[in-house]
Structure 1
Amino acid sequence: MAVNCFTCQYFYVTWDPKHPRGCKAYGFKTRELPSIVVRRSSGMECMKYEPKKGGIRR
């Protein structure tokens, strides 16, 4: 099952147009979703995924 970065507490959006997505757990920014980079680099799904805490923000 693929990891959904948008539901992970470590995912963030950056101000860098060349690298608009980031992962605080692994400490990198990328153009793609971080989980895709992790899978391509390691051959495994992201091991640092943690669901966001709290409810839905409005």
Structure 2
Amino acid sequence: MTVNCFQCQNFYVTWEPSHPRGCKAYGFKTRELPSAVVLRSSGLECMKFEPKKGSGGA
């Protein structure tokens, strides 16, 4: 299963053009999706994924 950062509570968008995406759980900002950085760095899928609460519905 691939982690989708856009569906995680820990994901956020920054104002920094060089590092537009961030992860509150791991405490870093990046140009890529944080889950891709975690996978490349550790070889493991993100273990801090937390689904967003109250995703409303269509």
TM-score by length of 1: 0.93
The corresponding residue for 1:39 is: 39
The corresponding residue for 1:53 is: 53
The corresponding residue for 1:5 is: 5
Q: Identity of counterpart residues, as a percentage? A: 80
Q: Does 1:20 align with 2:14?
A: no
Q: CA deviation at 1:54?
A: 1.3
2:43 partner amino acid? G
Specify every segment of 5 or more residues in structure 1 that has no aligned partner in the other structure, as ranges. Answer: none
Give the total of aligned pairs: 56
Distance 1:6 1:55 in 2: 12
TM-score by length of 2: 0.93
Distance 1:24 1:8 in 2: 10
2:18 partner amino acid? K
Specify every segment of 5 or more residues in structure 2 that has no aligned partner in the other structure, as ranges. Answer: none
What is the root-mean-square deviation in Å for CA atoms of aligned residues? 0.6
Q: Cα deviation per residue 1:22-57 (whole Å; 9 max; x = unaligned)?
A: 00000000000000000000000000000001133x
